[in-house]
Structure 1
Amino acid sequence: MENKTMEGFRLSPQQKRLWLLQQDGLAYKAQCAVLLEGNLKSEALKEALQKVVDRHEILRTSFQRLPGMKIPFQVIAGSSTPSWDSADLSDRELQKQESKIEELLQEERRRPFDFEREPPLRLSLLTLSARKHVLLLSLPSLCADAWTLKTLVEEISRFYAAYMQGEELLDGPLQYADFSEWQNELLEAEDENAERGRTYWQKQDFSSFPALTLPFECKPSAGATFEPDSLDLRIDPDVVTKIEAIARKTKTSIAVLLLTCWQTLLWRLTGQSDFVVGTLCDGRKYEELHTALGLLAKWLPLHRHFDGDFKFSEILQQVNEATRESYEWQEYFTSKQSAESFGNAPDFPVGFEFEERASRQQAADMWFSVNKQFSYINRFKIKLTCARVDDSLTAEFHYDSSLFQRETIKRIAGHFETLLKSAVRDKESRASELEILSEIERHQLLVEFNRTAADYPREKCIHELFEEQVKRAPHSVAVVFEKEQLTYSELNTKANQLAHILRRRGVAPNVQVGLCVERSVEMLVGLMGILKAGGAYVPLNPEHPKARLSQQLTDIQSPVLITQEKLLSQLPGFEGDMICLDRDQALLANEQKTNPEQITAQHHLVYVIYTSGSTGVPKGVAISHGSLVNYTQFICQKLQLKDTPTNGGLHFATVSTIGADLGNTCIFPSLVSGGCLHIIDYAVAMDGGAFADYVAKHPIDVLKIVPSHLSALLASPKSRNILPQKYLILGGEALAWELIKLVSEMSGDCQVINHYGPTETTVGSLTFSLRENDVFTQTSTVPIGRPIANTEVYILDQHFTPVPIGVPGQLYISGVGLAQGYLNQPQQTAERFVPHPFPHDGEARLYKTGDSARYLPDGNVEFLGRTDHQVKIRGFRVELGEIEAVLKQHEAVRETVVLVREDEPGQERLVAYVVFHGKNASTVSELRSFLKEKLPEYMLPAAFVLLDGLPLTPNGKVDRKALPAPEDIRPELEAAHVAPRTEVEQNIAAVWQEALHIEKVGVHDNFFDLGGHSLLIVKVHNKLREAMNKELSIIDMFRYPTVSSLASYLSG
């Protein structure tokens, strides 16, 4: 075989990097549109172009590879004759001419180059009028950068003038092949300077910095190509003058000041304090290179660390010094170092470049000026190019249109313009204080998105609205529980009788009354009786430990406790009066049946609900009548409820405990609108089949439920029968699109409403109604929507400044729904309920939710997670700090951390990490028993991990990310492990092992001690019924919580 040889030159490091990058070869071009004004002589232009091509070898260069070569050589042709395509646009209006020019540039950008055969310079001459033409220049980026375009235009105009004046220009530039060899030799050099340069860049390790993710950046699709587009912003001349003055005064430069603004904006938009911005260095450090054409420019990494809140002027000096250092060692930065830092991602996803573009050049009686210019030598997500032409300054926002919508870039451009004006107005401002919102945007965020004022009954309390409904439809069924039901008149009478007793026993406005009852119609009697007496009801969950109930009763100082006789053994000692609604029926029957005299007002308490507290003590959230009336009125309007005595109104189902306010969405709107409230028994609510059977017999119009609860129920074979006929309201935790898809496949008729709101803002404060096929590709979960009536929402940064649309911040809520505060906890109340920072009523407050959120462009809000250690477990709010505080009360525990883990998709569980004072100081079994006496079931960790010490960060804080996942082994239990003996035991153990992620389960092991919980038991229940092919109720699972006891029951 004949060996082929080739004469040529090695590619420069810049060309090598680009060759490997541009496998599609389309986007990486250098283009410009040159406006030619005057009496154009075609022969003079042709001669000028020929001279320029003859003068610069890079314009006659092709790229050749022999078989097996990955990187080509650059081969210089002895000669090349430039030619151009022509088009006459003189018959078009100006706007259509500009559109055509843009269209031709776009077409050229999509047109590939044949690097082996085609001359690199492409030309098109467009006639706009007799004295106005446009010359389009296009080169592959292997042969040109932005500076090349500038020099090329200057040279064409020079040679055009020389031809017209009969002159000969003899000076010769440095050729690119010489530059290329010099660059390669520099990187191969072993001298001291080269070693220092390499050392400088080796110290710049950026691999640990997460990539910047900008607001509404789309996830790249598989095989997505680079699709650059741009948006231009002309900087106000007055601002340019101020920029120049600051640059002179601070001894920096216009480029450094603009770069500093860009970095500051990126910090404000992302909240990321450590990041890298690629800065384009023109590569023409030495005078000899100024007239050279070709790809000399390279991207250099510039690290920015926002530590503390520096003044803008201080950051400017820091950026100036970093830029100076990187510029000094520019020759020694290589694509290898770039790959080590950025991996397979674009080398510099976010970039900045400053260009001094060719000014208007006179050539004989012609004027040459650059109208449009693009140069892409790197794949990026977004790049800011600041172009200076004479006294004007333009900010060009180049972006990958496969990742960003144009509207997003418009907003970013607006933020940059506002920040730039703010910085030059006062360079001594702190970076966090610089404005990035225009007045229009600020007004939109603070005012337009919060236009929620609406009428509601301002003089009525919630029980008065109920009494009005009693008058309208006394004989309609108000409440149903199992086989028992009460009409509105019957419920009102029983509540009145209880209220009269309570009045005599000291219940008055703002007096809190404990209500500890099971789900029943009596629950509604007790609730309404307390309100009619003038008091505030305090729901106490009989399933909670006695110690927790005792703590709450002590806190509220209740003169009376309302309960049921069957619960007395579960209650702690109580010194006040006690009324048992089942035992004391004869006593109640002797009381007056009429409505008690109204003594409460809207500012009085209506209820106090306890939530988890980070200090280890539950917090009582105190809600007033006015807040509940406003919320109830909104729900009635949202669901378009009307009093319809003929059919009793809509049928509502409440499936949750009144110990949380989740169910209030159904309870109060039903009772004030003539609805029928179905109180669903716990066993039915947790069993998908039983619940479906109930709904089949008693059709439900409105259901409020936690997403994880609904997801568990939908695993039932009868899942299609579970959904309500009209409204499905989901709340209590983030709502996944996958669940919405599942619901829409099962029922196309029921409207889904996502409902968000902390207990401190009265049940719910934002809603989002889903329409058919409603999917937000830019949101990871279903949006939480817009504020309800008379409610305002603010998303603020740590300095209490509104953040732009799309930028994460902390969610604050204001309005009628705000709680009075935390009962008997003034310090915590002051920490969470803060003075209103914007023009408002002098007594207005904001509630600090601790939730991270962002605005979507249409004004809806997206929930992003927590900013602290509060979590939601099966719809219940849990402060991890409370579990930690209780664990630390155990004498054997030295240190502990509790967190939520999702080691399996959709399977969130609490995990406690514990360090004992000494080895074998206690056991997991002892810890679990200790917690059971003090915490409710939903706050018990599913797994415990015993450690010798907690991992720490360099700052000495617990490194939560370094905490290990629990091992899939059977935890230490009191009962010794006994392997399953029968086929039934083996089947049960197999289902448990899969659900609990445990390798082995013993026959005496308790499901809940292994980490099981109420929602997990729903899924296990469905799988066991399938595996065993036997009827099994949820209650049976609770009655027989061990493998052996359940197997005996099923075999009996």
Structure 2
Amino acid sequence: MDTSDAAVVGAQDVLAGFAAQVAAQRSAVALDGGPSRRMTYGELYGASEALGRRILKAGVTPGQIVGLLFDSGLDFTIAALAALRAGAAFLPLDRRQPAERLAAVLAEAAVEVVICDPGNEASVPDGPRILRNGDGDTEPDAAEVSLPEPDGAALAYVFYTSGSTGRPKGVAVGRAELAAFARAFADRLPLRADDVVLQIAALGFDVVIEEIFPALIAGATIAFAHENGPLAPHELTSLMEQRGVTSVELTTTYWHEWVRQLHEEGRRPPAALRRVLVGSDRLDRGLVGRWLHWGVPLIHVYGTTETVVTNTMHVVSGEAVSDPDRPVPVGTSLAHSSVHILGDDLRPLEFGETGEIAVSGALARGYLGAPQLTRDRFVEIRTGPDEPGTRVYCTGDRGRLLPGGVLEFLGREDAQIKIHGFRLELGEVEAVLERLPWVERAVVVKAAGAEVSRLLGYVRRVGAPNPRALTAQENGQLADHCRGALPPHAVPAEFFACETFPVTVNGKVDRVLLAETDADRATMSVSAPLPDGPLLDPVCADVVRAWQDVLGRTGLDPDQGFIAQGGSSLAAMRVIAGLRARFGVAVPLTRLLRARSAGELARFIETEQAAGTGGPSKELTEHRV
């Protein structure tokens, strides 16, 4: 991996900013996990120091990578700081990932120790040693172990992202680069000691870096909204009001849903809110207009895992959404990076010219165990005839720079997409499907025009052309095979059989046509229509209809869960809004996601109605961390 960027950003370590805040405001609240779990900066410093010594006592040496497997964002933060204080790098893990994928990632990163909470021990694959992080856990004589001096040239963390070959790739970021990003981000907003930053991103999603480290070097408080799983928009609003949140970043699709529901319910954003950051997809102009009416600053951001999370920011104004033919800008570069627009020959283009977006400055060191891929994506360009070479990451995104250095994002150049906030290489999903012995070719697309993002999988069987629809057994096998090898957001919602794939004039598969066509889908569906009459009770029938309305499909099985039939957390938010309007019951998002059938959810609704709550249940209002 290339380490030349450390010289660009200097050797400062991210722990220096945190230590300065500990010295300045030791008794200030650093982590807020609710009334029963708060930690001051001094307590956080002590907890991370003690765990850092235990990490070294467990045999980890400086420079090694340790795995972190937590449901709790608060405990994740302690463990991430502890790993850095031990001189190690950390690798966030997600127990929702298939065991096969977790094992492969741990093996490639040579992880020998995984730190986790007691509830996640069973999810750790065989091989690495487990180091529990919980009350009463100790390591004999760990207090005698000396912590190493911080080293800005060392590795800070690794995040695994989707890979086009079917194999995830580990993006490795150095400590100096992390420090440069955290300072640039905190200064640009700016974050202050009286800010309360909400940590809401999934712990396996690199936005968690943005939620934690800039806040810690600014002396702000981090409030946590994890452990119980994702939040529906009305749950988010309640939590933000309870914790006095001033700053939050949301995926664009989630933000869209939140604004819709606030508007429909006649509510406003929480009073303490100073800013909302959004990124990962294009903004809906109509919803931007509604938001701006409330007067809370909206900040559009852009960045990638390889370029240390976020590189540009733009405070959205009414002028930015006035031209329907222009995308909402994603802004100007933060201090730790610079944006370039490149032509096919890697030549920097002029203002207004469209090309590939590339980023220089504080970049990832490269991809673990993939030197050729690193060389392909991290390249050297010359910004002028007499200028030295500049290392840049070629993002694969298309865009253009306006006068003043304002970036417009115009979409992808390849088969990588954004879904539910995650970048996904469609080739990874296709490669997994093609491992099935009866699948000759697979093509996966993101459905066009759908209000809720979903993936569609098209497969061609091995052997002679066969136009028949997929059987229920084949459909189930495809879904189960994907769930066993891919993260939840990468599993297609529907599968279809194709005798031949449509092609463009250049002979490539016409993904646009596959994404847009609805023809013959009814004949390809293997689901039965919704039973009528006595087969379903009225509440259960209404639940199934709510699912079908949101997913745009008929014939869902009331004896299966919402997720098992192609639902997602974002689609579930739409369902919850509909159920609230129909029954006057606030169904917690996690309750819907975990329900094993429509009947189970119907029984919950009936229980809430019988209790006469008419609003949030106890389960909804308890946000544990």
Assess same fold via TM > 0.5.
yes
1:630 maps to which of 180, 197, 219: 180
Q: TM-score, normalised by structure 1?
A: 0.53
Contact 2:69 2:93 in 1 (8 A): yes
Q: Once structures 1 and 2 are overlaid, which stretch shifts more, 866-875 or 501-510?
A: 501-510
Q: Does 1:851 align with 2:401?
A: no
> Cα offset for 1:836?
2.2
1:486 maps to which of 34, 39, 42: 39
SS for the counterpart of 2:357 is strand
Q: Which residue does 1:755 correspond to in 2?
A: 301
Spell out, residue by residue over 1:888-917, the C-alpha distance to the aligned partner (whole angstroms, 9 max, x if none): 11111111111112233x433211111111
- Written as runs of structure 1 = structure 2, the 5 A alignment for 1:43-82 is none
Q: Which residue does 1:496 correspond to in 2?
A: 49
> Cα offset for 1:771?
4.0
1:812 maps to which of 355, 358, 362: 358
Q: Provide the C-alpha distance between the structure 1 equivalents of 2:456 and 2:49, rounded to a whole number of angstroms.
A: 47
Residues 755 and 787 (structure 1 numbering): CA distance in 2 closer, same or farther, change over 3 Å? same
Q: Which residue does 1:950 correspond to in 2?
A: 501
1:507 maps to which of 28, 36, 60: 60
The amino acid that maps onto 1:948 is: E
Q: Provide the C-alpha distance between the structure 1 equivalents of 2:66 and 2:387, rounded to a whole number of angstroms.
A: 32
Q: Provide the C-alpha distance between the structure 2 equivalents of 1:694 and 1:462, rounded to a whole number of angstroms.
A: 29
Contact 1:688 1:719 in 2 (8 A): no
Residues 931 and 966 (structure 1 numbering): CA distance in 2 closer, same or farther, change over 3 Å? farther
Residues 755 and 588 (structure 1 numbering): CA distance in 2 closer, same or farther, change over 3 Å? farther
Contact 1:689 1:718 in 2 (8 A): no
Q: Does 1:576 align with 2:128?
A: yes
The amino acid that maps onto 1:795 is: I
SS for the counterpart of 1:907 is coil
The amino acid that maps onto 1:942 is: A
- Written as runs of structure 1 = structure 2, the 5 A alignment for 1:822-833 is 822-833=367-378
Residues 524 and 502 (structure 1 numbering): CA distance in 2 closer, same or farther, change over 3 Å? same
Q: Which residue does 1:1008 correspond to in 2?
A: 563
The amino acid that maps onto 1:769 is: V
Q: Which residue does 1:883 correspond to in 2?
A: 429
Q: Which residue does 1:729 correspond to in 2?
A: 277
> Cα offset for 1:972?
5.8
Cα root mean square deviation, aligned: 2.7
> Cα offset for 1:849?
0.4
> Cα offset for 1:508?
3.5
Q: Provide the C-alpha distance between the structure 1 equivalents of 2:53 and 2:245, rounded to a whole number of angstroms.
A: 34
- Written as runs of structure 1 = structure 2, the 5 A alignment for 1:1019-1030 is 1019-1030=574-585
2:346 maps to which of 779, 782, 800: 800
Q: Which residue does 1:1045 correspond to in 2?
A: 600
Contact 2:66 2:88 in 1 (8 A): yes
Q: Which residue does 2:287 correspond to in 1?
A: 739
- Written as runs of structure 1 = structure 2, the 5 A alignment for 1:658-697 is 658-681=203-226, 683=228, 685-697=230-242
SS for the counterpart of 2:321 is coil
Q: Which residue does 2:619 correspond to in 1?
A: none
The amino acid that maps onto 1:651 is: V
2:476 maps to which of 918, 922, 925: 925
Q: TM-score, normalised by structure 2?
A: 0.88
Residues 961 and 710 (structure 1 numbering): CA distance in 2 closer, same or farther, change over 3 Å? closer
Q: Provide the C-alpha distance between the structure 2 equivalents of 1:939 and 1:929, rounded to a whole number of angstroms.
A: 12
Q: Which residue does 1:460 correspond to in 2?
A: 12
Q: Provide the C-alpha distance between the structure 1 equivalents of 2:201 and 2:48, rounded to a whole number of angstroms.
A: 22
Residues 794 and 775 (structure 1 numbering): CA distance in 2 closer, same or farther, change over 3 Å? same
Residues 821 and 981 (structure 1 numbering): CA distance in 2 closer, same or farther, change over 3 Å? same
Q: Which residue does 1:997 correspond to in 2?
A: 552
> Cα offset for 1:464?
2.5
Spell out, residue by residue over 1:252-277, the C-alpha distance to the aligned partner (whole angstroms, 9 max, x if none): xxxxxxxxxxxxxxxxxxxxxxxxxx
Contact 1:705 1:730 in 2 (8 A): yes
> Cα offset for 1:685?
4.7
Contact 1:814 1:845 in 2 (8 A): yes
SS for the counterpart of 2:447 is strand
Q: Provide the C-alpha distance between the structure 1 equivalents of 2:257 and 2:195, rounded to a whole number of angstroms.
A: 25
> Cα offset for 1:723?
7.4
Q: Provide the C-alpha distance between the structure 2 equivalents of 1:924 and 1:977, rounded to a whole number of angstroms.
A: 19
Spell out, residue by residue over 1:712-747, the C-alpha distance to the aligned partner (whole angstroms, 9 max, x if none): 2332537524576212111222333333212112x2
Residues 998 and 967 (structure 1 numbering): CA distance in 2 closer, same or farther, change over 3 Å? farther
Spell out, residue by residue over 1:37-83, the C-alpha distance to the aligned partner (whole angstroms, 9 max, x if none): xxxxxxxxxxxxxxxxxxxxxxxxxxxxxxxxxxxxxxxxxxxxxxx
Spell out, residue by residue over 1:145-173, the C-alpha distance to the aligned partner (whole angstroms, 9 max, x if none): xxxxxxxxxxxxxxxxxxxxxxxxxxxxx
- Written as runs of structure 1 = structure 2, the 5 A alignment for 1:207-226 is none
Q: Which residue does 1:983 correspond to in 2?
A: 538
- Written as runs of structure 1 = structure 2, the 5 A alignment for 1:382-781 is 458-482=10-34, 483-573=36-126, 575-582=127-134, 585-587=136-138, 591-592=142-143, 597-643=147-193, 649-681=194-226, 683=228, 685-714=230-259, 715-716=261-262, 717=265, 719-722=267-270, 725-745=273-293, 747-748=294-295, 750-771=296-317, 774-777=320-323, 780-781=326-327
Higher relative contact order at CA 8 Å, sep ≥6: structure 1 or structure 2?
A: 2
> Cα offset for 1:499?
0.7
Residues 629 and 946 (structure 1 numbering): CA distance in 2 closer, same or farther, change over 3 Å? same
> Cα offset for 1:476?
0.9
Q: Provide the C-alpha distance between the structure 1 equivalents of 2:61 and 2:287, rounded to a whole number of angstroms.
A: 45
Q: Once structures 1 and 2 are overlaid, which stretch shifts more, 719-728 or 881-890?
A: 719-728
Contact 2:562 2:593 in 1 (8 A): no
Q: Provide the C-alpha distance between the structure 1 equivalents of 2:107 and 2:406, rounded to a whole number of angstroms.
A: 42
Residues 493 and 1021 (structure 1 numbering): CA distance in 2 closer, same or farther, change over 3 Å? same
SS for the counterpart of 2:341 is strand
Identity %: 27
Residues 978 and 769 (structure 1 numbering): CA distance in 2 closer, same or farther, change over 3 Å? same
Contact 1:684 1:690 in 2 (8 A): no
The amino acid that maps onto 1:935 is: L
Residues 968 and 1016 (structure 1 numbering): CA distance in 2 closer, same or farther, change over 3 Å? farther
Number of residue pairs matched?
587
- Written as runs of structure 1 = structure 2, the 5 A alignment for 1:254-293 is none
Q: Provide the C-alpha distance between the structure 2 equivalents of 1:752 and 1:571, rounded to a whole number of angstroms.
A: 39
The amino acid that maps onto 2:448 is: E
Unaligned runs of 5+ in 1: 1-454, 644-648
Q: Is the radius of gyration larger for structure 1 or structure 2?
A: 1
Q: Once structures 1 and 2 are overlaid, which stretch shifts more, 538-547 or 1004-1013?
A: 1004-1013
SS for the counterpart of 2:278 is strand
Q: Provide the C-alpha distance between the structure 2 equivalents of 1:902 and 1:967, rounded to a whole number of angstroms.
A: 16
Unaligned runs of 5+ in 2: 1-6, 608-625
- Written as runs of structure 1 = structure 2, the 5 A alignment for 1:40-439 is none
Residues 563 and 892 (structure 1 numbering): CA distance in 2 closer, same or farther, change over 3 Å? same
Q: Provide the C-alpha distance between the structure 2 equivalents of 1:562 and 1:1031, rounded to a whole number of angstroms.
A: 36
Q: Provide the C-alpha distance between the structure 2 equivalents of 1:723 and 1:832, rounded to a whole number of angstroms.
A: 43
> Cα offset for 1:681?
2.4
Residues 960 and 731 (structure 1 numbering): CA distance in 2 closer, same or farther, change over 3 Å? closer
Q: Provide the C-alpha distance between the structure 2 equivalents of 1:567 and 1:972, rounded to a whole number of angstroms.
A: 38
The amino acid that maps onto 2:283 is: L
> Cα offset for 1:928?
0.1
Contact 1:535 1:605 in 2 (8 A): yes
Contact 1:655 1:682 in 2 (8 A): no
Spell out, residue by residue over 1:996-1037, the C-alpha distance to the aligned partner (whole angstroms, 9 max, x if none): 111333321331232210111011111112111223211221
Contact 1:993 1:999 in 2 (8 A): yes
> Cα offset for 1:703?
0.7
